[in-house]
Structure 1
Amino acid sequence: MTAEQQLPSMGGAVDLSALAARHAQPAQPQQQSAEGGAQGAPGVIVDIADAEFGAVVELSNQVPVIVDIWAEWCGPCTQLSPMLERLVAGYEGRLVLAKIDADANPQLVQAFQAQSIPTVAAVIGGRPVPLFTEAIPEEQVRDVLEQVLAFAEQQGVTGRVPVEGAAAPAEPEPDPVPPLHQEAYDALEAGDLPTAIAAFEKAIAQNPRDAEAIAGLAQVRLLERLQGKGADEVRAAAGGAPDDVAAQMLVADLDLSGGHVEDAFLRLLDLMATLAGDAKQDVRLRLLDHFEIVGLDDPRVAAARRRLTTLLY
């Protein structure tokens, strides 16, 4: 197969399961140790014989296995095999290379229908895919390996085997914090709520769709309203003045800060149902702040929004 050819459909592939089933408890493939093998890639480059083939078929359900059928007397193999080892090792566990000595393993040669040496194939999801039967340039080999990975992904074979010494995948860099957000966070850390509010307000003025700033502003305003006030004091004030809208809204703030979300929403919605004009608008805005604090995707917010809509129209 050349680099320009696409991998064939799996429909006509020979089923290797019968051969693999001959070894009910297959041994695990051993690490390639021959001279010229890729060092530092245990489990990625392996020598296999008939007894280990079941393990290779099983492994191919998690990661594509490249099969290199070679022989000591094969001149092209001396160029192709080291190249395959180096290229496969470079994929750091996304591919495994299984090397088969043709003279020592005639059953496997027959299973892969190898008519000449070298023969290179892949095993993906327990079934073989022929690749090429001669030494080809490195760039073409690399293209074939990329096609194998793409085809394996279509089959849902996307695993990776652990590779000793391989660098762990880098953690994605966090998005930089916008300067005004950072200013607000620094002010909060210092207990300076007015400065935090001003920073978030400026961020929203620059970008009215800044969801983080909108939610942050709602949270800091809640903290400011409750600053220096005890829970008993807030509830006593509201109990002594049931018609005081500001006092009732403050109790809702207290409920929300304590995690009693439904209670806060219910208090504000019931209060809003009794009001008109500017007072009703004030309660609506407080509710919207509470929605931002809880999170707009929270189902409790969705339920409260539905009732709010009925109160507005």
Structure 2
Amino acid sequence: MTQPFAGRGAIDLSALKRPAPQPAPTAAGGGTAPGMSAYALDVNEENFQGVLQASTTAPVVLVFHSPSQAPESTQMADDVADLVGQYDGRFLAGIVDVDAQAQIAQVIAQASQLQQLPVPLLMVFLDGRPAIQPIPGMVTREELSTLFNQLGQQLTAQGITGRHQPLATVPTEGEEEVGPDPRYAAAQDALAAGDMDAAVAEYQKLADANPADAEAAAGLAMAKILQRTQGVDLNAARAAAAAAPDDVDAQIMVADLDLLGGHVEDAFARLVELVRRTSDKERDRARDHLVSLFAAVGNEDPRVLKGRQALASALF
């Protein structure tokens, strides 16, 4: 359903009647709806510019819904608003009610060369531009979770480690405002700088300090993949794997490259088949590496659940 991030045309905002460009959105000024996470807000003409500007920090997910035209689309918008809160600032969700914000819908339709904006519609922006092809139609909560997991993998693979600040909210009594977790800053800075050795070392420290830290484990697994694949030629790696189908090192390398390219299921299938064909130490290596790829993707991802089932079948 998703594609690698790729720059596309910027959105022309000149049709909007709005004040001067706004700063990055805040919940207090952006009309955050009750029940939304700290990384979701309602979009209107006043804050639309600021929402798109926020995509220079990290991706912005826009969801267009219509309570009158497609009541079910509002549930999808609510799911997006809720799910982005699980990624600690990796995404900011902008919820656009096209019934109330017809001018924004018209601008997006014109930019997308559409006569009318389909509802629902999901778009992902990075650096002010659409980062993937727009996704029209209903998307289930499970599919949305898979989408965000895959986009997160692609962000990490491309060294895009920025995070949105949580939108300003008023804490309830006895509660303190919580900012971004600083524990991951050193590892993310190393990824952004292209220093994979340092990134692995920083994530290893976090994983050693707290083995139950799922984000640290996933970050460590992905950093190791990036470390192994630095400077590797994809075509040469595929040719080597094709020439030696039972060479564990060759198959692992292509699986790593496939995962980084977003071909997660292909990576899993390659190693599952390798487990079927090999034995003893080679089989153990293939299995252990596949398990590390599961960690990189995230144990809650539906593709990981299917991959674990396939691995169990191959082993037993």
- The TM-score normalised by the length of structure 1 is 0.46
* Greater radius of gyration (CA): 1
